[in-house]
Amino acid sequence: MRFPRAFFWFLTSFVLTAGLCPRASGQAALLLEDAAGFSSVLSPSGHVALYFARICADTPTRLRRCEPGELGTVISRYEGIKGRDWLAIPLLPHLYAVEDPPSVPTHVDHATVAELRQAYHDAHLTVLGNVPVGGRLMPGWNQLVGAAFERRIYAFRFETTPEQDDALIARLNDSPQVPHFNFITRNCADFVSDILNEYFPGAFKRRILPDAGITMPRQTAYQLERYAQKHPQLHLQLMEIPQIPGYRRESGRSKSVAGSLVFTGDVIPLALLDPYVAAGVLADYLIFGRYPLVRQHPQVLSPQTMAILAGSANPSASPTNTSVASAANQSHGDLAAPAIANSTNQGDAAKTPDSETLEANAARQAHR
């Protein structure tokens, strides 16, 4: 009789302890970057990239697993980078063109931004070869670093598994670096959608309407919200990375193709040429192309609290984290979008053990 009783207690303890063991999950985020600069006047579509807390980079084109204390990397497709289909930049340099939080300025001007970008380029980006700096009309390597000087960024954070991240590392490291950028069929949103489809198969699809079949950053973020509404295990959370003032005027929210034509006024000369086409663009925007994103009360991150982005995305790990709660019915014919609810504490969110460890390591490196 002893064996069955011992087996019973063993099975009971195994079931109970299995429920208490944390999942081996990591964090990733879709970074929806506002439209900024002169390009926002012509096409206010913005930019989109992916952040991975578990994936780091030895070079902009060679990925690996992160070591303790590293904050992860941002991966995206860029225009104007010769011979490169995608590039990976560590999180802090991508946002602020520096490698430690204390070095991030609270206010910048054109000279400061140029100096910070050039210093990071000379230290880490010379492997890209003869790539122009870039400017108002010509894209270049400057779009890789200091994004927060140009625009506000929304981070839609979700959970990933080690197996998913390892598969992405292997795929990107083994894929040939052949430039594929094309605004119509192979832009930054197409690249992000392709990667997200590996994590969530079939969730991101190209559509004829809206946007005439062009994949746009706002559309990709909207599809992620809709997917997370049906799959709460993603623990989708919304965070905001503010624009550092001084370099450019305040950035504007990204828009769809139809929304860009409407808000820039390009639909007016289009109406003079063909009123039926203009009416179609307007209908496309009003019926399909607004992509209502729920951005009320996002958790605001600073350079000093950026490690929170790499912390646990599971609400049970930190009670002050935001999470996808329900669908919110939008007025004026907008589609329903998942509501992202805040906790009652609107101040600084409690840090998870992972984020405290990352910040402590970053502080020690800065002190050295």
Residue found under tokens 């709660």: 325
Instruction: Please tell me the predicted confidence (pLDDT) of residue 38.
Output: 54
| Number of structural domains in the chain | 1
Residue 225 host element (H or E): helix 217-230
Q: Which residues contact 29 (CB under 8 A, 6 or more apart)?
A: 50, 51, 155, 156, 157, 158, 239, 309
Instruction: Please tell me the predicted confidence (pLDDT) of residue 3.
Output: 38
Compute how many other C-beta atoms are within 10 angstroms of the C-beta atom of residue 79.
Answer: 16
What are the backbone angles phi and psi of residue 331, rounded to the nearest 5°?
A: -85, 175
Give me the sign of the Cα torsion angle 250, 214, 143, 52. Answer: positive
d(Cα 323, Cα 320) in Å, to the nearest integer?
Answer: 9
Of the candidates 165, 152, 177, the residue with the CA atom closest to the CA atom of residue 295: 152
Instruction: Please tell me the predicted confidence (pLDDT) of residue 348.
Output: 41
Q: Which residues contact 139 (CB under 8 A, 6 or more apart)?
A: 78, 79, 80, 81
Of the candidates 61, 57, 58, the residue with the CA atom closest to the CA atom of residue 83: 61
Q: How far is CA 16 from CA 6, 9, 12, 20, 207, in A?
A: 16, 11, 6, 7, 46
267 falls within a domain: no
71 falls within a domain: yes
Domain of 231, in residue numbers: 24-256+291-367
pLDDT in tens, the chain (368 residues): 443 444 344 444 433 433 344 444 579 999 999 877 655 555 567 899 999 999 999 999 999 999 999 999 999 999 878 778 999 999 999 999 999 999 999 999 999 999 999 999 999 999 998 888 987 667 889 999 999 999 999 999 999 999 999 999 999 999 888 777 777 778 899 999 999 999 999 888 877 766 777 888 888 998 999 999 999 999 999 999 999 999 988 877 776 666 667 766 777 887 888 887 777 777 777 766 666 666 678 999 999 999 999 885 444 443 333 333 333 333 333 333 333 433 333 334 333 434 444 444 544 444 44
